[in-house]
Every structure is written in structure tokens, then in C-alpha cells.
Amino acid sequence: MLLRNAKIVTIEVQDSYGLIECGAIAIKDGLIDWVGADDAIPAEYLDGPVRDLEGRLITPALIDCHTHVVHGGDRAVEFEMRLKGASYEEVARAGGGIVSTVKATREASIEDLLTSALPRVDALLAESVSVIEVKSGYGLDRETELNMLRAARMIADHRNVRIKTTFLGAHAVPVEYKDNPDGYIDEVCIPTLKAAHAEGLVDAVDGFCEGIAFNTDQIKRVFDVARELGIPVKLHAEQLSNIGGTKLAAEYGAMSVDHIEYATEEDAMAMAKAGSVAVLLPGAFYTLHETQLPPIDAFRKHGVPMAIATDCNPGSSPLASILLTMNMSCTLFRLTPEEALVGATAHAARALGLSDTGRIKVGLRADLAIWNAKHPAELAYRIGFNPLFERIVGGESTAA
Ligand code: DI6
Ligand code: FE
């Protein structure tokens, strides 16, 4: 199939935001076979099916590289509580927060988990999303953690989307281990990680390194097991305070360090050295009324790639729109619209260790978004507006 007469944002190299004013893309066997100017299309492609896109914009399909879309229940009541003045920490300490989602998730069957996640997945797909990372972390017991990962993998049986699963056993201390977080790590989290890995369910290992969750020593024990098993790591770090999670993650060569509002320039330098992607989550920043901005200038200065993601979760970021995430990253974090687009494509792919998608380049997967737009900045600019014309994932097309 040949797509022609389109404006193409290629992002051929990780950081270079190439623009072909009037270009064409040839797709063969689900891969990008050729990209170039519309007046230089090799004859062989003109013989097959040709589609005139009438000047529409083509970008890599968007990628959501940090979500918790699989979970039981919701936290609308907590939303109300916070509006009446309770802080996120207070809600968490009062047995609300993550722990209340754990209860609802434990009560759900795999089918319930899948069924309740699909509408959130569909909202992302409607904005072209081709890859979704899904974390466990609301089970905090062996069976429920495994069920979350199994439900996450099942999403790909029901929709044309790639799912990457991340084990987040070290997300919160469950009530039964309230006074014994070390016991939870050693007796539940680590054995469950081993079981999930044995079942082939783990693409990456994550943790929540925070005063209300786990300290660096506890995360380190989990990361040591990940390393033994050959699984890459990432970390929720420096979201509410700085307790050294970023430096620890960098020591383990983390694929990404996520949130990082309270990270320092030194942390940014450690990430640059480790090659870790900074995953910015403006939905959580917005929802929690956070005012501490992530050190964006330090990331720029030291060449740390910045990805953005929804963090779609029932508590701190009930956000199921990657387009709104792009807008928020510009308005709240002052990213440029170009950085937002690269952050939701090439750098998001890199945060997941994927090198075959997120850019438009010969040999990569044909994961493309065709937009009713003239300029790439339009994607981040409007609020609550979806200009998607068509989504192509693995060469397979779905009209918006
Ligand atoms: N940081 C977050 O923002 C989410 N998890 C995490 O580690 C919050 C998850 C929740 O509140 O349910
Ligand atoms: Fe998260």
C-alpha cells in the first residue's frame, strides 16, 4: 500500500524531528518499505494500491509508555475527599489511595479486569495509540498480581495494539504487611516476580520509591532479582519528595525513570550517563495540584530523552488521553509541541526498550497516525479535540 500526498513527521533518528512537506510512505508486510518525497516515488509502488491523503499529516502512531489501565473499581470518592482538603498522603494513610484499589482489584476476576480496562484502552486507541505499557501493582498478592498481568496481555487478543507488561509488585504496602514492608518485599513481591517471569508475563520491573511506599534498600532488593532474571528495570521516583530513587535506578541502567518532579540536576546527569529516559507524567502533576516542576532544563542540557505518558490510574491520574497529555506537557511543563510529539512516539518507544516503532523509517513497523491536521503543533494545541483520521498499526488500518 502506498500513502501519498501527505505531510510527514518522520522522527527518523531518535531526536531529529524530520518533516517532509509533501511525501509518501510505502507499506509492505506490515513494515515501512519506503519513505520519501511525493515526486520521487519509485515506480514499483505506483502499481499497487495507492491512497491520496490530500495533504493530511502523518506521524508515528502515539505510544503510551506508562499506564495502570488494568485495575478494579474507581476512586471518585477519594477525588471528592481531596477536593475537600485531604492531601494525597493523608488519603493514603487513611487507608484510601492505592490500598482501596487493591481491595477492588483483588475482588475482580481476570475477565472483570479485562472488561473494565477495555474502555480505557479504546479511548487511547481512538487517539492512534499503538503500544500501551500496563503495570501490575494493585494486587500485592501473588494471584492478583499474576491476574493483572494476564489480563493486560489479554488486551492484545481483543484489540490491534501491542501490550508491554511491567511487574510493579513494589507499588504499595498491603494492609496485611502494614508494619512489615521488608517482609512484603521478601515474602510476596520477590517470589511473585519470579513466578510471573516463569510464566513469561514480565517485560520490565518497576517500583514506587517514595516515603509512602518503598525505600531505596527495598527497591534495590527487587532490582537485584530483576537483574538476575535478565529483566530491564524502570522506577517511579522523586514524585513527591527526593529519596534517591533516580540515582538507584540509574545504577541499574533503568530504561526509564518516571515522574521525577523532585529530581535534581545531579539526578539528570546520572540518567544521562545510564541512558535512562525521563518519563514525564503531567496528568499526575495536574491531578495532585503539584507545583514542583520536573527539571526539564537539566534534562535538555544533559541530553536526557523526555517521554510523556498518561499514567492512567484510578487515583493520581485518571487520564485516558495521550493527546491531552501532550497538551499538558506543553502547558504545565513548557515542553515544545515538537518535544511533546517526540515524547509520545520515539522516546516513549525507547522507554519501553522498543526500537522497531515510534519513528517513520524504512524497516520499522508501519505504526502510523494520519491526522486531519496541517501542522504537528495542532496535536498538542487543542484541548479535548481529537483530529485523528486513521490509525495504522502493523500495516493494518482502522478508520477513526
Ligand atoms: N505513583 C502514582 O502516581 C500512582 N502510582 C504511583 O506509584 C498512583 C497510583 C494510585 O494512586 O492508585
Ligand atoms: Fe504510575
Tens digits of residue pLDDT in 74-84: 998 888 888 89
Distances (CA, A) of 340 to 57, 58, 134: 16, 16, 21
**94, pLDDT greater than 80:** no
- 136 CB near ligand 1 (under 6 Å): no
Average pLDDT, the chain: 96
Mutation to probe ligand 1, out of 82, 100, 208 (largest number of atoms < 8 A from CB): 208
Q: Which ligand is nearest to the CA of 287?
A: 1
How far is ligand 1, taken at its centre, from the CA of residue 360, in Å? 33
Pocket of ligand 1, candidates 316, 317, 319: which has the most ligand atoms within 8 Å of its Cβ, to mutate?
316
Share of the chain above pLDDT 90, in %: 90
Q: Is the CB of 96 under 6 A from ligand 1?
A: no
Better pLDDT: 93 or 380: 380
What is the distance in A from the centroid of ligand 2 to the CA of 98?
11
| Residue closest to 71 by CA, chosen among 343, 318, 391 | 318
Packing angle, helices 110-125 and 142-158, rounded to 10: 50
pLDDT per position as a tens digit, 292-320: 999 999 999 999 999 999 999 999 999 99
β-bridge mates for residue 64, sequence order? 132
Spatial CA neighbour of 3 closest among 365, 366, 358: 366
Q: How do residues 367-389 score in pLDDT, each as one tens digit? A: 999 999 999 999 999 999 999 99
Euclidean distance between CA atoms 358 and 13, whole angstroms: 10
Pocket test of ligand 1: the residue of 91, 98, 219, 285 to mutate, having most ligand atoms within 8 Å of its CB, is 98
Which protein residue has the closest C-alpha to ligand 1 atom 8? 316
| pLDDT tens sequence across 127-148 | 999 999 999 999 999 999 999 9
Statement: residue 218 has pLDDT above 90: yes
Question: Ligand 2 center to residue 37 CA distance, Å?
Answer: 40
Atom of ligand 1 nearest to the CA of 92: 11
pTM of the model: 0.97
| Higher per-residue pLDDT: 398 or 247 | 247
Q: Among the bound ligands, name the one nearest to the CA of residue 135.
A: 2
- pLDDT band at residue 17 using 50, 70 and 90 as cut-offs: confident
Closest residue to atom 3 of ligand 1, CA basis: 316
Please tell me the distance between residue 236's alpha carbon and the centre of ligand 2 in angstroms.
7
Q: Please report which ligand is nearest the Cα atom of 105.
A: 1
What was the pLDDT predicted at 91? 82
| 59, 77, 335, 345, 370 from 349: Cα distances, Å | 14, 35, 18, 6, 19
Alpha carbon nearest to ligand 1 atom 7, residue? 208
- For a ligand 1 pocket test, name from 81, 317, 319 the mutation site with the most ligand atoms within 8 angstroms of its C-beta: 317
